[in-house]
Chain A
Amino acid sequence: MSATVDTHGHDDHDVHHHKETFVTKYIFSQDHKMIAKQYLITGTIMGVIGVLMSIMFRMQIAWPEKPNVLFEALLGKWAPEGVMDADIYLALVTIHGTIMVFFVLTAGLSGTFSNLLIPLQLGARDMASGFLNMVSYWLFFLSSVIMVISLFVEAGPAAAGWTIYPPLSALPLAQGGSGMGMTLWLVSMAIFIASSLLGSLNYIVTIINLRTKGMSFTRMPLTIWTFFVTAILGVVSFPVLLSAALLLIMDRSFGTSFFLSDIFIQGEVLHYQGGSPVLFEHLFWFLGHPEVYIVILPAMGLVSEIMASNSRKPIFGYRAMIMSILAIGFLSTIVWGHHMFISGMNPFLGSVFTFTTLLIAIPSAVKAFNWITTIWKGNLQLNPAMLFSIGFVSTFITGGLTGIILGDSALDINVHDTYFVVAHFHLVMGISALYGMFAGIYHWFPKMFGRMLNKNLGYLHFWVTAICAYGVFFPMHFIGMAGLPRRYYTNSNFPLFDDTANANVIITMFAIVGGIFQLVYLWNFFYSIFYGKKTVQNPWRSTTLEWTAPVKHIHGNWEGAIPHVYRWPYDYSKPGHEDDFVPQNVPLYDGEEELQH
Chain B
Amino acid sequence: MTALLTIIIVLFVAVAIWQLVKIFDLAQVDSQSSPVATDKDNKLNGYLMMGFLAFIYIITILSFWYLGDLPLVSNSASEHGPGLDNLMIISMVIIFIVQTITQFILHYFAFKYRGEKGKKAVFYADNNTLEFIWTIIPTIVLAGLIIYGLFTWNDIMNVEEEEDTLVVELYAQQFNWKARYGGEDNVLGKANVRLIDLDKANILGVAEDDPNAQDDVIVTELHLPVGRPVLFKMRSQDVLHSAYMPHFRAQMNCVPGMVTQFGFTPTVTTEEMRQNQDIIDKVQNINQIRTEKSKELTANGEEALEPYEFDYLLLCNKICGKSHYNMQMKIIVETQEEYDAWMAEQTTFAKSLN
Contacts and interface: CB of A to CB of B under 8 A. Distances in A.
A396 B73 CA distance: 25
A25 B88 CA distance: 57
Contacts of A452: 35
22 contacts: A86-B323, A165-B239, A167-B240, A263-B237, A372-B102, A375-B109, A379-B120, A379-B121, A390-B110, A394-B106, A408-B149, A410-B87, A414-B249, A456-B26, A459-B19, A460-B23, A482-B67, A482-B72, A495-B286, A573-B120, A573-B121, A573-B122
A119 B337 CA distance: 77
B150 A355 contact: yes
A454 B94 CA distance: 41
A493 B323 CA distance: 11
B113 A378 contact: yes
A372 B106 contact: yes
A312 B115 contact: yes
A277 B257 contact: yes
Interface stretch (A195-203, A505-513, A545-553): A505-513
B35 A382 contact: no
A525 B341 CA distance: 71
Contact of B60 (A261, A319, A474): A474
Contact of A362 (B130, B135, B239, B321): B135
A252 interface: no
Contact of B174 (A174, A343, A376): A174
B157 A347 contact: yes
A175 interface: yes
A533 B35 CA distance: 8
Contact of A572 (B121, B134, B246): B121
B149 A354 contact: yes
B67 A382 contact: no
Nearest to B135: A366
Given A168-B239, A312-B121, A316-B124, A410 B153 contact: yes
A14 interface: no
Interface stretch (B138-146, B177-185, B221-229): B138-146
B239 A377 contact: no
B99 interface: yes
B290 A498 contact: yes
B240 A478 contact: no
B113 A90 contact: no
A314 B48 CA distance: 25
B266 to A, nearest CB: 15
Interface stretch (B188-196, B212-220, B268-276, B343-351): B188-196
Given A318-B125, A493-B325, A503-B66, A275 B257 contact: yes
Nearest to A94: B319
A479 B246 CA distance: 13
Nearest first, the 5 closest Cβ-Cβ pairs linking A and B are: A261-B257, A478-B67, A347-B157, A483-B246, A452-B35
Contacts of B249: 413-414
A466 interface: yes
Contact of B252 (A344, A505, A572): A344
A269 B193 contact: yes
B238 A264 contact: yes
Contacts of B324: 90, 487-489
Given A344-B260, A573-B121, 11 more contacts: A90-B324, A167-B240, A263-B237, A264-B237, A380-B115, A381-B36, A463-B52, A477-B63, A493-B326, A513-B12, A539-B35
B282 interface: yes
Contacts of A466: 52
Contact of B142 (A362, A376, A533): A362
Contact of B19 (A161, A347, A377, A463): A463
B289 interface: yes
Contacts of A418: 317
B200 interface: no
Given A277-B257, A394-B103, A488-B325, A355 B319 contact: no
Interface residues of A, number: 139
B259 to A, nearest CB: 9
A398 B192 contact: no
A369 interface: yes
B205 interface: yes
Interface in A510-555: 510, 513, 533, 535, 539-540
Contacts, number: 407
A372 B130 CA distance: 12
Interface of B is mostly: helix
Nearest to B122: A377
Contact of A276 (B9, B41, B251, B255): B255
B92 interface: yes
B116 interface: yes
Contacts of B115: 312, 378-382
Contacts of B280: none
A533 B31 CA distance: 11
Interface in B102-134: 102-103, 105-107, 109-110, 113-116, 119-127, 130-131, 134
Interface string B61-91: 0011011101111000000000010011001
Interface in B223-267: 237-240, 242, 244, 246, 249-253, 255-258, 260
B105 A401 contact: no
A346 to B, nearest CB: 9
A224 B88 CA distance: 39
A499 B285 contact: yes
Nearest to A164: B319
Contacts of A510: 12
B246 to A, nearest CB: 4
A35 to B, nearest CB: 26
B153 A347 contact: yes
Given A316-B126, A401-B95, A375 B67 contact: no
B320 A168 contact: yes
Interface string A302-325: 000000000111111111100000
A405 B325 contact: no
A347 B158 contact: yes
Contacts of B102: 368, 372, 397
B16 interface: yes
B67 to A, nearest CB: 4
Contacts of B105: 372
Q: Which of the listed residues B36, B71, B154 has the most CB atoms from chain A within 10 Å of its own CB?
A: B36
Contacts of B193: 262-264, 269
B313 interface: yes
Contacts of B139: 362
Q: Which of the listed residues B16, B138, B239 has the most CB atoms from chain A within 10 Å of its own CB?
A: B239
B201 interface: no
Interface string B31-69: 000011100011001101100100110011001101110
A263 B254 CA distance: 13
A245 to B, nearest CB: 18
Q: Which of the listed residues B24, B73, B123, B322 has the most CB atoms from chain A within 10 Å of its own CB?
A: B123
Contacts of B2: 502
Nearest to A417: B317
A347 B255 contact: no
A506 B121 CA distance: 42
A433 interface: no
Contacts of A413: 84, 156, 249-251
A597 B124 CA distance: 11
A474 B45 contact: no
Contact of B1 (A460, A478, A502): A502
Nearest to A496: B313
B353 interface: no
Nearest to A477: B63
A519 to B, nearest CB: 13
Contacts of B158: 347
B120 A580 contact: yes
A171 B239 contact: yes
B13 to A, nearest CB: 8
A210 interface: no
Given A316-B125, A365-B138, A481-B71, A174 B260 contact: no
A369 B116 CA distance: 24
A342 B242 contact: yes
